[in-house]
């Protein structure tokens, strides 16, 4: 036999023996290649379909749907989107539902429901949990209002209401938020968003300061209807102020809604402390949700509420629900300004933030120059005019100057000391 022929036969035999192994390795390499390709592309292989499970639901009792609405039950579990649930039933009665996520479904108790299990079905199978009780008068599905914020505001204010069982069945086909109405309870508020525990609505039109009303499965108080424990106050309103106490001259920040509504009847025109004493104020912040006013406690104010007046007063008056406490009155704070003019005149003005003008009119002001060793030397003392203005000429020399209003008394009241900023000549 030819040696070359024998070698060729052995090679062919080895090739045949290794062919299945090479095919197997080829399939493995192809599989690895596909996996790598998916990773590179950022994709995942489809998940296997799984039967859903129901692990809990709330409320555990409620009425069947009527023409006015229905009790909405929040069902929790797994695989509600794997594949997407195709049916929800209350003891076999089909329900209107909405799949919110792979672990949550909102479903309305159907009119034909009887007490028993709640089931969720997808293309793979059905999962269920027993224990739902049909309760015609509401059961655990009665809505509640725990709070709402803000507690007041003009038309256009967004109000967030928190509570329980705040959803309903709309038009027999859609799960949505309950009817929300502000007094006089004639028109539904515009709904922005809704969950079982929170509804956000927009206050529209003229309303009356009364509790907020929400209807879900019917309009019977204690069943599908609930009122808030406190009223919603319409128009400009104070929600808080800080600090809550202080002496005359204290700066107070008032927070609320509707302080400035771009020229409408809600614009604040005045701030008044108890005892009918008006105060100087400034609108510091104006946003869609919060307005802020800064003001100063005026002379003569007494402990009591703060009042805001608007362009449509007296109907636009807003009074704080708590008192501002006047305490620790030690005197009237003053503010001194200074300018250096010509060669060399020092002039400026003394003002009193709390409005006690006797501490600004006809009072002494010391014109001073800083000494080399520290401290200030008084060059001249002048007296302010009826408006608090002062002026005095001194020797024109380089250096640092200031004006000082010393502590004094006026009409039996204490006027506190204040010095102007230092100016350099």
Confidence of residue 148 (pLDDT cuts 50, 70, 90): very high
Q: Which residue has the tokens 């005019």?
A: 385
At residue 297, the 3 state secondary structure works out as: coil
What pLDDT sits at residue 266?
A: 58
Asked whether the predicted pLDDT for residue 41 surpasses 50, the reply is no
pLDDT band at 17 (very low <50, low <70, confident <90, very high): low
Residue 153: pLDDT above 90? no
Residue, of 326 and 420, whose pLDDT is higher: 420
The pLDDT of residue 328 is 67
Burial class (CB in 10 A: 0-12, 13-18, 19+), 409: exposed
Burial environment of residue 158 by CB neighbours within 10 A (0 to 12, 13 to 18, 19 or more): middle
Q: Answer whether 142-234 and 237-326 agree in fold.
A: yes
Residue 337 predicted with pLDDT over 90: yes
pLDDT tens digit string along 175-190?
899 999 998 888 889 9
Interval 193-202: pLDDT, tens: 999 999 999 9
Q: What is the pLDDT of residue 35?
A: 41
Q: Where are the domains of the chain?
A: 1-44, 53-139, 142-234, 237-326, 335-424
CATH number for the domain running over 237-326: 2.60.40.10
Under 8 Å between Cβ of 199 and 180 = yes
At the fourth CATH level, the homologous superfamily of domain 53-139 is Immunoglobulins (2.60.40.10)
Q: Where are the beta strands (DSSP E) in 29-103?
A: 53-58, 61-62, 72-78, 87-90, 93-94, 97-101
The predicted structure's pLDDT at residue 346? 96
Q: Give me the pLDDT at residue 37, please.
A: 42
Phi, psi dihedrals of residue 363, rounded to the nearest 5°: -110, 160
Q: What is the mean pLDDT of the chain?
A: 85
C-alpha 179/C-alpha 170 separation (Å) is 10
The reported pLDDT for the residue numbered 238 is 87
- Topology of domain 142-234 in CATH is Immunoglobulin-like (2.60.40)
Residue 14 in this model has a pLDDT that exceeds 60: no
Q: Is 141 exposed, middle or buried (0-12, 13-18, 19+ CB in 10 A)?
A: buried
**What digits encode the pLDDT tens for the residues 373-400?**
889 999 999 999 999 999 999 999 999 9
For the ranges 62-76, 121-135, 284-298, 349-363, the lowest mean pLDDT is seen at 284-298
Report residue 156's pLDDT band, with 50, 70 and 90 as the boundaries. Answer: confident
The share of the chain scoring above pLDDT 90, in percent, equals 54
Instruction: Write the CATH number of the domain with boundaries 335-424.
Output: 2.60.40.10
Residue 368's nearest CA partner among 416, 405, 314, 407 is: 405
pLDDT category, 74, cuts 50, 70, 90? very high
Tell me, what's the pLDDT at 311? Answer: 72
Between 237 and 386, the more confident residue is: 386
Tell me the C-alpha distance between 120 and 56, whole Å.
Answer: 12
Band of pLDDT at residue 10, cut at 50, 70 and 90: low
**What is the pTM for the complete model shown?**
0.61
């Amino acid at each position: 036999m030819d040696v070359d022929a024998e070698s060729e036969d052995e090679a062919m035999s080895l090739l045949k023996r290794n062919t299945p192994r090479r095919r197997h390795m080829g399939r493995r390499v192809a599989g690895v290649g596909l996996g790598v390709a998916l990773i590179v592309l950022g994709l995942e292989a489809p998940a296997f379909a799984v039967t859903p499970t129901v692990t809990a639901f709330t409320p555990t009792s409620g009425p069947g749907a009527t023409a006015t609405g229905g009790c909405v039950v929040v069902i929790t579990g797994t695989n509600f989107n794997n594949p997407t649930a195709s049916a929800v039933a209350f003891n076999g009665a089909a329900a209107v539902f909405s799949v919110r996520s792979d672990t949550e479904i909102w479903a309305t108790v159907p009119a034909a429901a009887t007490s028993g299990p709640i089931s969720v079905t997808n293309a793979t199978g059905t999962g269920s949990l027993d224990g739902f009780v049909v309760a015609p008068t509401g059961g655990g599905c009665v809505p509640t209002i725990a709070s709402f914020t803000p507690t007041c505001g003009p038309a256009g204010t967004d109000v967030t209401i928190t509570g329980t069982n705040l959803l309903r069945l709309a038009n027999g086909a859609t799960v949505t938020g309950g009817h929300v109405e502000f007094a006089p309870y004639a028109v539904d508020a515009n709904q922005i968003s809704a969950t079982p525990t929170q509804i956000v609505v927009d206050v529209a039109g003229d309303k009356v300061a009364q509790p907020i009303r929400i209807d879900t499965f019917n309009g019977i108080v204690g069943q599908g209807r609930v009122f808030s424990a406190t009223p919603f106050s319409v128009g400009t309103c104070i929600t808080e102020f800080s600090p809550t106490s202080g002496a005359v001259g204290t700066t107070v920040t008032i927070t609320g809604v509707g302080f400035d509504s771009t020229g409408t009847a809600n614009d604040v025109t005045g701030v008044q402390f108890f005892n009918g004493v008006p105060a100087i104020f400034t609108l510091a912040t104006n946003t869609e949700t919060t307005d802020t006013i800064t003001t100063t406690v005026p002379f003569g104010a007494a402990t009591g509420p703060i009042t805001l007046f608007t362009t449509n007063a007296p109907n636009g008056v807003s009074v704080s629900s708590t008192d501002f406490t006047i305490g620790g009155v030690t005197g009237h704070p003053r503010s001194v300004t200074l300018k250096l003019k010509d060669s060399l005149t020092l002039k400026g003005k003394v003002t009193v933030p709390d409005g006690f003008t006797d501490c600004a009119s006809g009072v002494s002001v010391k014109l001073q120059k800083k000494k080399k060793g520290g401290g200030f030397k008084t060059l001249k003392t002048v007296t302010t005019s009826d408006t608090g203005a002062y002026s005095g000429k001194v020797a024109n020399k380089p250096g640092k100057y200031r004006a000082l209003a010393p502590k004094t008394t006026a009409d039996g009241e204490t006027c506190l000391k204040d010095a102007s900023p230092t100016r350099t000549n």
